[in-house]
Structure 1
Amino acid sequence: MRAAQTRRGTPAARPGTGGEPSGDPLGALREDLLDELARTAAEEPDPLPRALDAVARYAAAAAGVRRVDVVAADAAGRAVVLAAAGDGPAVRTGERPLRRAGRPVGRLRWHGGTPRLLDDRAVGALEHHLAAAVDERTARQWAQRTATAGTQLFERAARAVGVEAAARVLAEVTGAVFATERSAVHLVDTGTRATHVLGVGLPADVQEALDRRVVGTTAADSPAWRLLSATREPALVDDARDVPLRPGGFIQTLGLRCFASIPLLAHDGLLGAVVCGDVTRTRAWSEHHRALARRFAVQGPGIVELARLRASEAAHVRELEHRAFHDALTGLPNRAALLRALEDTAAGGVALLLVDLDGFKRVNDTLGHAAGDELLRQVAGRLRGSAPAGATPARLGGDELALAVPGATLAAGVALAHRLHALLLEPYDVDGTTVRTGASVGVAAAPADAGGVPDLLRAADEAMYRAKRERTGPRTAPVARC
C-alpha cells in the first residue's frame, strides 16, 4: 500500500502534488484504498478480509466508526457474520445493503461513530469491492457445499439397494444441504399414484398421516405436482400461503410454511419429488438454493433408477440361486442344497432321514402325471411341516425325499422318522380322489456313528431300502467308520 496513510486515516500525498497533502483527505484515502484493492484482488484467494479492512479504515477516518462487519444469509437463510474488522464493541449504529449486479448479497453494519456513515457517492466504490468479495466468498462456500452434497449423495446412494433406500438417501441429503427442518420424498408409478412417501426424522404422527393421506392417491390431482410436471423445474416457495396446495396433501401434511420441491425427472414424466422446508418460518430462497435444486433434479432420478436396477439385479441373482438349490416342482431344497447342509453340519452332529414313496408309480399310471405331481407337492408340504427349526427338507429326485436335522442324535432321528412315517401314510385328496401311499424311511446319524457325508448318505440309503423290503416302519443302518 502507498506510504503515509495509517489506520487513523492520515491522508497520503497524491501523485503529482510534490508530496503536499491533498485538499480532499478522505478522497485521497479512498483512492489509496481503491488502488490497494485493485492491486491485490487478483492475488488474494479470499478478498473479503482485505476489502472489509479497507472499508473499516475509511469508516474510522470519515465517521469515527470503530468496527464494521458483513452479514449474509447461510444455507438455512439465517443472517450470519461472514467477517469483521476493527477493534470496537459490537454496538451497531447503522447498516446498509450490499448489492452486486442488482442482487442483494449481504449487509454492511458499522458500530460506533456517527449514526449515518457516509453518503452513497463517497463510499459506493469501496462497497462495490466489498460486495464482490462477499459474493465470491458466498459462491465458494456454496460450491463447496454443493460438491460435498454431491459426493455424499453418490457415496450413500451407491450402497442403496431398492427404490425405497435410494429415496430415503435423497430426502436425507437434500434436507441436510438445504438446512431445512423437514424433508421427505414422494414416489409415484406410471399413473402418478403415490407408491412411497418417506420422511426423514418426522414425528411419528406426521409419518403416519403421510401414509394414510398420500400413499395411493393420484399425484396429478395436486396443484403443486401439476406445476412440477408442467415446468419440469424445481419450485422454491418462500411462503406456502402464496401458492395453491391440495388440502391435506403432501406439503400440508408435512406442515411446511416454506418449501423447495425438486422433481425427479424421467424421460416419460416424473418419478416423484423431493420436498424439504421449514415448519416454524417462511424463508427467502437464494439463487444458490435454486442452482442446487436444479442439480439435484438432474442427479436424483439417476440415483433412483440405479437403485431400482440394483434391486432388480439382486432379485435376479437370488432367483438364480434359488433355482440352483431348489426343486422346481415342490419348492423344496434339492440334492445340491442337501449336500451343502450336510457338509456344514456333519461335524457337529446331524441325523439324516431318506424317504421313498411306495406306490407312487401306481398313482402316475392310474391318475396321470399331473396327479402324481400334485401328490408330490402334498407330500413335500407334510415333510416341510414336520421339519424342526433349522432342518433341511429336500427332494432328491423322482419320489425320493430327505430330511437333514442338525444336532439330532440317531435316537432323535428315529423318533422323528416314526412321526413322519405315520403322517405320510394318511390319505391325500388329489383332484377330488382319495389317494393312499406308503413310505419307506431310513435313518442314519453322524458323527456318532463316524464317517463323512458320503458314508452317511450310503448308510441312510441302506436303511431306507431295508425299510422298503421289510415294510415294518423306519429302519437304521450304521455309518461305516473311516
Structure 2
Amino acid sequence: MPSPPATRPATRRSPFRRPTDLVERTRWLFGVCAVVSLVLTSSGAAAEAGTGRLTAIALSGAALIASWLHRYQARRGTVPLDLLDAVAVCVLALASPVPAVALGVTFSALWFRAVYGRTWEIWFYATAQCAGLVAALALWQVVPGHAAAAPAAPLLGALPIAPLLAVVARHLAAVLQEHQLAQAWDATLARLVTQLLGVTDVGQIRQRGWEAADQICRLTPGLVVVVVEDDGERLLVQGTVGPVQHLPATLDRAPVGTDLASAAASQRPGRITAPDELVASAGGVTSWVAIPLPDEPGRFLLLGGKVLHPEGVVLVQSLVNQVALAIRATSAHRELQVQARTDALTGLANRSTFSAALEAAALEAAAPAAADSPWVLFVDLDDFKLVNDRLGHAAGDELLRAVGARLAGAVREPGLCARLGGDEFAVLVHAADAAEAEALGRRLVEVASSPVRLGTGTARVGASVGAARVLPGTSWTTTLQQADLAMYAAKAAGKNRVVVADEGALASA
C-alpha cells in the first residue's frame, strides 16, 4: 500500500498534545502505549540490576524514545531508525533478567511502527525486532553477569505472535489510511463545490477543476490525470496533472480508439489500453480509465494509476460532473442574461436595454466635458402590415429579422440598434451633430427600403425616421417621445424620409 497522504505540512508537533485527526490520534495513542510499555518493562528489568545493566537499560530506553519521537514528528519511518530500534531492544533484552521481558516493548513498538510507511517496511521492522531478540538469546552467556543460559522457550514461543501482530496492525493502518485518504478526497471535492459557487467565468471554472485534480493527484501517490481530444486520427493532449514527464503533444489513437468510442457511447468510465508513449511518460503506469467529459464530444479525461480503486474513479468522475454542472449553470445564466437584454425575434437589443443605454447617454450629455451630443433615431417601417396580410406572419417575422440586421449593420460602434416592438426600431448614436444624425437617418431609410427576398416571395417596405438630440437636463423618456413624434411627422410628410425634432420644442418639453 502506498504511503499515507500528507494532508497537512509536516510541522513539528508536541507529543504531549492529543491530535484531533483520527489517524494522527491513533498514531499518538500507539506511541503513548509504546512509551508506557517501555517504562513499565524497564522498571521491572531494573529491579536488582547492577550499574552496568542499569546503564544499558537507560541507554536502550533513551534510544527507543528518541527514535519513536522522531517518527511521530516526521510522520514517517526510516530503515536506519528501524535498525536502531532492533539494536536497542536487543540491549534491553540482554540487560533484563530474561530476554523474554523485552517482548512487551517489541509488540508495542510493532503496533506503533505499523501506522507509518509501506507494508514491506513493516515486515522489515518485525523481522529486525525478532532478529534482535534472537541475537539477545544467542549472546546471553557472552554478556558478563549471566552465569547460565537464558530460558529460550518463553521467547521463542512468543515470537510467532510478532508476524501475526504485523498483519493485524498493518490491516488496521491500511483502513485508517484509506479513511484518511477518503476524508481528504471528500474535503477536496467539497472545497471545489464551495469555490465554484458564484463563479460565472468558464475559464475560472476549468481552472478550479484543474486545481482540484492536481490536489487529488498529490493526495494519491502515482495517480495521473490527462485530458485529451479525439479528432478521429490521433489524440491531442490538452493538459496533465500528476507525475507525467515528457508526454508528446499527440498520442497514437489506434490502441485506445475502440475503448474511447465505447466510453463515449455509454457516457460512463471505461477501461482502456493506453498508448505506449502515455505509459512511458507516466512511469510505467498501465492501469487506465477513460472518463468522457460531459457536453464536450470527443474530449476525455484519462485517469491512470498503479492500482485504480473504484472509489478513486468515482471521485474523479464526481469532480468532472461538478465542473460540467458549474459550466452548464454559467451557460444558462448567460443565456438568461442575453434573453433579458435582447429581442427574441431579431437578436437586437430590446426595449429595456435601449432604455438603459439612452438613460446613460442622457447623463453623458449632461457632463460639462461633453462636446457633440448623443442622438436617438426612431425607425418605423412603412406598409409592413401589407406584407403580413399578403405573405403571412411568418414572412413578416422573416422580414423583420432581415431589416433588423440591415439597420444594425448601418450603425457603427459604439452605437446601439434595438427593436422596441412590432415594426418599430430605435438607434442610439454617440457624439454626433445634426448633419451626421440626419445622414445616418437617410442611410437607415435606404437599407430598410431595399427589397427583401423571403421564402414565400420578395417584399419591400419603407421606413420613416424621427431624430432627436439628447439635450442636457432632458429626461431620456422625453427624448424618445420627441423622436417618436418626429417619426410621425415623417410619415405625415409622405413616408420614407427623415425628420429632425425641433430642439426648441424639445427644450421646452
TM-score norm. by structure 1 comes to 0.60
Choose from 329, 350, 366 the match for 1:313.
329
Indicate the SS of the match to 2:507.
coil
SS of 2:412 mapped into structure 1: coil
Deviations 1:84-142 (A, max 9, x none): xxxxxxxxxxxxxx989993136989xxxxxxx965723798x9899999999999888
Residues 386 and 399 of structure 1, relative CA distance in 2, 3 Å threshold: same
What CA distance in whole angstroms lies between the structure 1 residues aligned with 2:340 and 2:324?
A: 24
Q: 1-side partners of 2:420 and 2:328: how far apart?
A: 30
Q: Answer yes or no: is the 8 Å Cα contact 1:332–1:380 preserved in 2.
A: yes
Tell me what 1:389 maps to: 413
- In structure 2, relative to structure 1, the CA distance for the partners of 1:18 and 1:427 (3 Å cut) is closer
Q: Which runs of 5+ in 2 are unaligned?
A: 1-41, 95-112, 137-154, 294-298, 366-373
Alpha carbons 2:188, 2:215 under 8 Å: kept: yes
Match of 2:441 among 417, 420, 427: 417
Report deviation, 1:435.
Answer: 2.4
Q: CA deviation at 1:367?
A: 2.3
Deviations 1:279-311 (A, max 9, x none): xxxxxx5xxx86xx5543232223322333333
1:466 partner letter: A
Letter in 1 for 2:191: E
1:258 aligns with 2:291: no
- The equivalent residue for 2:250 is 209
Residue 275 of structure 1 corresponds to which residue in structure 2? 303
Shift of 1:374: 1.7
**1:460 paired residue number:** 483
Counterparts in 2 of 1:142-181, with a 5 A limit?
A: 147-148=183-184, 150-160=186-196, 168-169=210-211, 171-178=213-220
Per the TM alignment, residue 178 of structure 1 is displaced from its structure 2 partner at its CA by 3.9
Counterpart-to-counterpart distance in 2, 1:16 and 1:395? 99
Q: Displacement, 1:356?
A: 0.6
Contact preservation (8 Å) 1:355, 1:400: yes
Corresponding letter in the other structure for 1:177: L
Matched, 1:337 2:353: yes
Aligned residue pair count? 386
Post-superposition offset of 1:443: 1.3
Using the alignment, how far apart are the partners of 1:181 and 1:47 within structure 2?
21
Aligned to 2:226: 184
Which segment drifts farther, 160-169 or 466-475?
160-169
* CA distance in 2: counterparts of 1:17 and 1:169, whole angstroms: 60
1:441 aligns with 2:465: yes
Taking structure 2 as the reference length, what is the TM-score of the superposition? Answer: 0.57
Matched residue, 1:245: 273
The amino acid of 1:370's aligned partner reads: A
| Distance in 1 separating the partners of 2:176 and 2:291 | 27
SS in 2 for 1:401: strand
Counterpart AA for 2:452: Y
Structure 1 residues 338-347 or 408-417, which shifts more?
408-417
Q: CA RMSD in A?
A: 5.6
Q: 1:362 to 1:254 in 2, by over 3 A?
A: farther
Contact 1:327 1:333 in 2 (8 A): yes
CA contact (8 A) 1:353 1:404 kept: yes
In 2 relative to 1, CA 218–339 (structure 1 residues): closer, same or farther, beyond 3 Å? farther
**SS of alignment partner, residue 353 of structure 1:** strand
Other-structure match for 2:403:
379
CA, structure 1 residues 26+218, in 2 after alignment: closer, same or farther (shift >3 Å)? farther
Q: Which structure 2 residues correspond to residues 279-358 of structure 1 after superposition, within 5 A?
A: 294-349=310-365, 350-358=374-382
Cα distance change of structure 1 residues 177 and 456 upon mapping to structure 2, 3 Å threshold: same
Can you list the C-alpha shifts for 1:159-203, whole angstroms capped at 9, x where unaligned?
A: 457796676445433333346696314699xxxx99996423799
Contact 1:48 1:130 in 2 (8 A): no
In 2 relative to 1, CA 408–132 (structure 1 residues): closer, same or farther, beyond 3 Å?
farther
Amino acid at match of 1:183: V
Q: Is the 8 A contact 1:356 1:464 kept in 2?
A: yes
Amino acid at match of 1:392: L
Task: In structure 1, give the amino acid aligned to 2:399.
Answer: L
CA contact (8 A) 2:56 2:91 kept: no
On the 8 A contact 2:345/2:397 being kept in 1, the answer is: yes
Q: Give distance in 2, aligned partners of 1:359 and 1:31.
A: 109
Structure 1 gaps of 5+ residues are 1-11, 64-97, 110-116, 233-243, 278-284
Cα distance in 2 between the residues matched to 1:197 and 1:144: 32
